[in-house]
């Protein structure tokens, strides 16, 4: 179908400044337009030649005559003339920032992706009201948790002395089977699958977390559900894996801090970042606030109680323990609606009592209705 407008997104993983960014972006335009110029290309045969093309990029282009913006526009005029198109436009980093300045709802919907630099300093740009103050406390909680949740428990792996080893000393990403469908899983189990489905568990979860998982989008994306379950036997590393996943997100939060003094006061941050890089674990693009919930501890704390077993209320109490301010379940609910989360539930197999399991299961069901992304 000829005509219409095509939008092309060009994402630069590591911006390096206007000169290098501009050179990269111009090269991407050249490659893209070569496809449209070729009448035999698969794309041209499939949809025809569009009238207009819009390039959107996070690359920074310099202003002024002879700068990046000017040279890109000159290139676009020549490219569309050669291709027989009518018009072309480019939305670069500064243009996107100006557009977002006037679109509050868009900023909130994609807060985890677009919040620049120091998240604490920029929360007021993205959120409103009490969410800002709650977010400040929860980001500080993420900082403190890097230190408090850094040790691996080895008792289930045959170490009765429970030697204290740090995540950044030994943790690795474990391979998991990731089937695309039930039939593919059955083929794998029977040994008839031709294609391996192994992937790193933590990397898979981070990749899933990099997606927008709002219900309106999930209705159209049945292949990427918002909840995941990791199954493994005792001592196979599920708890360590859960710690590794939330550590990756916590480190991303803290590493966004613009002041070196803020980073320096977080013990173990540099070592943790170096370890995550050494095992090839990607940095989350979507800065979800990570929360790891020990379901066995939750079950012990609420045992025998007929009320006050709400999981979100219990989490609020846990967050408040190491803070001068009290965080309530209502605060967390408001933060849930304003910022993307990653909730990791661990230790369900350690809940032995049937009654306790039922209590935990009901509490998790309520939580699942509130927010993705949840990993069990």
E-strand spans in the chain?
5-10, 52-57, 87-91, 151-152, 165-166, 175-177, 198-200, 227-228, 289-294, 341-346, 374-375
- For the cut 60, the answer to whether the pLDDT of residue 220 exceeds it is no
Angle between helices 130-148 and 329-338 (to 10 degrees): 100
The pLDDT assigned to 24 comes to 92
More confident residue, 353 or 188: 353
The pLDDT assigned to 56 comes to 93
The pLDDT assigned to 1 comes to 44
Q: What are the tens digits of pLDDT across the range 138-185?
A: 767 766 676 666 666 655 555 555 556 777 777 888 887 766 555 555
Angle between helices 329-338 and 311-320 (to 10 degrees): 100
Residue 73 pLDDT level (bands cut at 50, 70, 90): very high
Residues 207-236 have a mean pLDDT of 73
């Amino acid at each position: 179908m000829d005509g219409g407008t095509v939008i092309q997104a060009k994402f630069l993983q590591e911006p390096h400044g206007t000169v290098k960014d501009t050179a990269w972006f111009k090269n991407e335009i050249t490659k893209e337009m070569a496809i449209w110029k070729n009448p035999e290309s698969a794309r041209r045969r499939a949809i025809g030649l569009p009238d207009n093309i819009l390039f959107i990029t996070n690359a920074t282009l310099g202003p002024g005559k002879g700068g990046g913006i000017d040279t890109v526009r000159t290139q676009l005029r020549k490219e569309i003339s050669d291709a027989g198109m009518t018009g072309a436009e480019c939305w670069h980093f500064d243009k996107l920032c100006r557009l977002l300045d006037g679109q509050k709802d868009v900023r909130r919907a994609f807060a985890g992706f677009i919040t620049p630099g120091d998240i604490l300093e920029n929360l007021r740009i993205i959120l409103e009201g009490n969410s800002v103050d709650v977010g400040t406390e929860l980001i500080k909680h993420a900082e403190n948790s890097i230190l408090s949740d850094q040790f691996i428990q080895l008792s289930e792996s045959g170490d009765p002395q429970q030697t204290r080893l740090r995540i950044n000393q030994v943790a690795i990403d474990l391979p998991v089977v990731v089937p695309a469908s039930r039939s593919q899983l059955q083929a794998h189990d029977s040994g008839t699958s031709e294609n391996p489905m192994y992937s790193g568990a933590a990397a898979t979860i981070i990749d899933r977390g990099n997606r927008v998982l709002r219900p309106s989008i999930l209705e159209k994306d049945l292949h990427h559900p918002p909840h995941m379950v990791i199954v493994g036997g005792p001592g196979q590393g599920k708890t360590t894996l859960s710690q590794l996943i939330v550590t990756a997100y916590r480190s991303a939060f803290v590493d966004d801090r613009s002041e070196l003094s803020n980073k320096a006061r977080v013990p173990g941050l540099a070592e943790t970042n170096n370890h995550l890089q050494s095992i090839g674990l990607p940095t989350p693009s979507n800065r979800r606030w990570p929360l790891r919930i020990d379901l066995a501890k939750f079950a012990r704390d609420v045992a025998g109680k007929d009320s006050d077993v709400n999981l979100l209320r219990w989490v609020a109490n846990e967050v408040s323990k190491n803070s001068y301010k009290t965080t309530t379940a209502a605060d967390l609910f408001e933060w849930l609606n304003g910022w993307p989360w990653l909730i990791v539930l661990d230790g369900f197999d350690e809940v032995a009592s049937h009654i306790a399991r039922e209590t935990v299961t009901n509490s998790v069901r309520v939580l699942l209705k509130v927010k993705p992304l949840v990993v069990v």
